[in-house]
Amino acid sequence: MRLLGIDYGSKKVGLALSDERGVMAFPHSVLPNDEKLLLAIESLVQKEGVGKIVIGHSVNKEGNPNKIQQAIEACILDLTLSLGIPIELERELYTTQEAMRIQGKTMMTDASAAALILNSFIQRQK
């Protein structure tokens, strides 16, 4: 089953897709967090045959939700209502910084962070 990983940010949202078997994640794209975001995600899910979405659970060092988590919860609700596929949270902390450490800061940094989140989820499932 193909998976979609999301690194949700207040300005940009990174997306990553797994291979068809759901064993490895790859950066896909970075979208602006605007009024077109949900439609773009819905379109990608349908086009790529995504069976599950994994969204980064934004927490601080103590494990408490960050201020962006409320917006993430609203996004999850909207996607659940429109797509009807499972959506899981994967704890993430400093994934954008980790992506920059690996590849440097590029236009695809947030997509790479989404791939790190999705790969973390995939590894936990093994």
Per-residue confidence at 116, pLDDT binned at 50, 70, 90? very high
Give me the pLDDT at residue 64, please: 85
Q: With b meaning 16 or more CB within 10 Å and e meaning fewer, what string describes 79-101?
A: beeebeeebebbebeebbeebee
Cβ–Cβ < 8 Å for 118, 3: yes
How much of the chain, in percent, has pLDDT values that exceed 70? 100
**Residue 22 region by backbone torsions, left for phi larger than 0, else alpha for psi between -120 and 50, else beta:** left
Q: What is the pTM of this model?
A: 0.94
Q: How many domains does the chain have?
A: 1
The torsion angles phi and psi of 37, rounded to 5 degrees, stand at -60, -55
Place 71 in a pLDDT band, splitting at 50, 70 and 90: very high
- 1-31 pLDDT, tens digit per residue, is 999 999 999 999 999 999 999 999 999 999 9
Domain of residue 38: give its range: 2-125
Q: Are 116 and 96 within 8 A, CB to CB?
A: no
Which is more confidently placed, 37 or 102?
37
CATH code of 104's domain: 3.30.420.140
Q: Residue 67 — very low, low, confident or very high, per pLDDT cuts 50/70/90?
A: confident
Q: Which two tokens stand for residue 47?
A: 């086009």
